[in-house]
Amino acid sequence: MCVKINEKQFVLRIIAQDNNSIKPGFISETEPKHQIHSSISAAINIIYKKLFKKTKTKYSGLNVLGLEEDEIIEELLSEVLFQPHGVLKETYFDVSPEEVWEKINACRGIDPMALFGLADSAVKDAMKKQMQVPLCNFKQWADLDIMMPIFKKYLKRRIGISDLPWHEFFIKWLNQKSSIIELTAALESIYPSNYKFGIHEFRAWKQMMKIVGCTNITPFSKNTSQLELY
């Protein structure tokens, strides 16, 4: 890239650094001996001082490249679904997330859903599609390193028994001859007799089933029967 300051051209090159593959380095072609700089601003200011002997003058690399102009920023962000925002880290306590939000002066009067892009229709659609993608499939059910985090996130807090052999449910299913189960009957095999499922607990199981790659293949509606086949 090439920029012009005080009628002098500065040619900058972006390179990959050997010691940091994530953070790029910047080289000024104007320098007799190329030196790797950590930012565009550093590359411009160091060469500027050498050429013009002005030690107090400093330039913003983003400003020199025009990246702080409103029109360019708007163009760069035109297809970006989410923009990160910095928030001052402080500790607040209250009875709800909404009450805590209102205590933060910088956020007062601002819709948090809109601030973080969660009210945008494109973001909502993308999140819905992502939630429909299974995190694993039946070939990975025996692997507790994969299944345990899913269990903790989607099921653990919803079940009414602390030592429930939930993983045994999936292992039994893997080992049986038929690949089809009726959900309630299959769950009864790992629960105590006469156990009554709560609505939220049963919904959590259905969510867990979906996340680990199971598909509801029930051929009739709930008005016909309460059975659910997977």
Which whole-number Å values give the CA distances from 15 to 34, 76, 213, in the listed order? 12, 22, 43
Distance CA 209, CA 215 (A): 8
Check if the beta carbon of residue 184 is closer than 8 Å to that of residue 203.
no
Structurally, the chain folds into a number of domains equal to 3
Distance CA 33, CA 26 (A): 13
Tell whether 220 is covered by a domain. Answer: no
| Same domain flag for 145 and 206 | yes
pTM score, two decimals? 0.46
Residue 27's identity, in one-letter code, is: I
Tell whether 55 is covered by a domain. Answer: yes
- Residue bearing tokens 């629960």: 191
Nearest to 207 by CA among 173, 157, 165: 157
Tell whether 10 is covered by a domain. Answer: yes
pLDDT 10s digits, 198-218: 888 988 999 888 889 888 898
| Same domain flag for 21 and 63 | yes
| Same domain flag for 101 and 151 | no
Can you tell me whether residue 130 is helix, strand or coil? helix
| Same domain flag for 122 and 146 | no
Four-point Cα dihedral 156, 158, 162, 167, nearest 10: -50
Can you tell me whether residue 13 is helix, strand or coil? strand
Per-residue pLDDT band at 133 (split at 50, 70, 90): low
Distance CA 25, CA 35 (A): 9
Tell whether 230 is covered by a domain. Answer: no
Question: Mean of the pLDDT values across residues 88-97?
Answer: 67
Q: How far apart are the first and last CA of the chain?
A: 58
pLDDT 10s digits, 150-178: 899 888 888 888 889 999 999 999 999 88
Domain that holds residue 30: 2-70
Instruction: Provide the CA 41 distance to its chain's centre, in angstroms.
Output: 30
Q: Select the more confidently predicted residue: 147 or 130.
A: 147
Where are the extended beta strands (E) located within the chain? 2-5, 8-17, 20-28, 36-37
Tell whether 216 is covered by a domain. Answer: no
Distance CA 153, CA 146 (A): 12
pLDDT of residue 67 exceeding 70, the answer is no
What local confidence, expressed as pLDDT, does residue 65 receive? 66
Of the residues 70, 90, 108, the one at which a domain ends? 70
Distance CA 65, CA 39 (A): 13
